[in-house]
Structure 1
Amino acid sequence: MKYWPVLLLSLLPLWAQALEVGERLAPWTLLDQFDQAFTLDNQTQTLLVARSMDAAKLVGAALQDQPKGYLEARHAVFVADIQRMPRLIAKMFAVPAMRDYPYRVMLDRDGRVAPRYPGSVDKVLWLQLKDGQLVGKHEYATAAQLREALEKALP
């Protein structure tokens, strides 16, 4: 019985991290696959977050056959959480392969950004922003759903 207060107190930080509609997102800066810096600002309207390789593959499939600059035209930014990927694998294989993508991938190598936005590991988290504030959030489990949502987000 005396373990309950300890358990509840240990879970309190997890509840505090929940991102709520109306909250302003704290700015951050990450490097993309070309080592070019990007800073989250008020111009970003959509933030896509993938916490796993499977989720990142959903984004890739949704963007298949789209022209270069497709995400940028929609003021969308894609963040891939690669903190669990071994650094040597990332450096020698994964990141060089990402340079062939027709879209930018902001690489969260140290887990500084993606954990701020809680969601399922196997889904793509879509955060809809307006002037830096969260106005909506969704999760997509299929490339078709994500592609449809991106099409609706006209430039």
Structure 2
Amino acid sequence: MKFFLLLLLGLLPLCAQAVEVGERLAPWTLLDQFDQAYTLNDQAQILLVARSMDAAKQVDAALQGQPKGYLEARHAVFVADIQRMPRLIAKLFAVPAMQAYNYRVMLDRDARIAPRYPGAVDKVLWLQLDKGQLIEQREYSSATDLRQALEQVKP
């Protein structure tokens, strides 16, 4: 009996519904690399989600050389899922390194937010929003393509 209960609980996250085009995203709050809170609101037009270090590196490469406030000017929010990273490594090395970035990174330390938006682990998920409603979903596997897409967005 315990086995079946554990199996059911283990499969429960797989039954969670992915957000579909036309649906409104539920608001959430995360801390950035400076421990400043950000709450998803209707002003956000682009939500970038990186589920792995490789995907986060793609975002970083796409933003190299861009001025501070580049993402904010495009009403874009970047969420990095860092729950697989050992907490000590995150605290001592990764998060302090992120403080040198000239853009905000919303840190999903406990995988509370990123799993709401399923996608490939090695790609950057781009969710196009209009007043909190999902209108388009894309994935990027190269920093060059992501950079070009961001450059097409008018600040």
TM-score normalised according to structure 2 size: 0.91
User: Which of structure 1's runs of 4+ aligned residues deviate more than 2 A?
Assistant: 10-16
Quote the offset at 1:154 in angstroms: 1.2
SS at the partner of 1:58?
Answer: helix
RMSD, matched Cα:
1.5
Residue matched to 1:84: 84
Which whole-Å deviations, capped at 9, do the CAs of 1:15-53 have from their partners, x for residues lacking one?
542221000000000000000000000000000000000
What residue number does 1:53 align with? 53
Query: Aligned letter for 2:135?
Result: V
Q: CA deviation at 1:12?
A: 8.0
The structural deviation recorded for 1:14 is 3.2
Looking at structure 2, the residues matched to 25 and 14 of structure 1 have their Cα atoms a distance apart, in angstroms, of 19
How many residues are paired up?
147
- The runs of 5 or more residues in structure 2 that have no matched partner are 1-6
Deviations 1:96-134 (A, max 9, x none): 000000100000000000000000000000000000000
> Percent of pairs identical after alignment?
78
Question: Which residue matches 1:4?
Answer: none
Range with bigger deviation, 42-51 or 15-24: 15-24
Please state whether the residue corresponding to 1:62 is helix, strand or coil.
helix
Structure 1 runs not aligned, ≥5 long: 1-6
Q: Does 1:73 align with 2:100?
A: no
- Give me the TM-score of the superposition, normalised by structure 1: 0.91
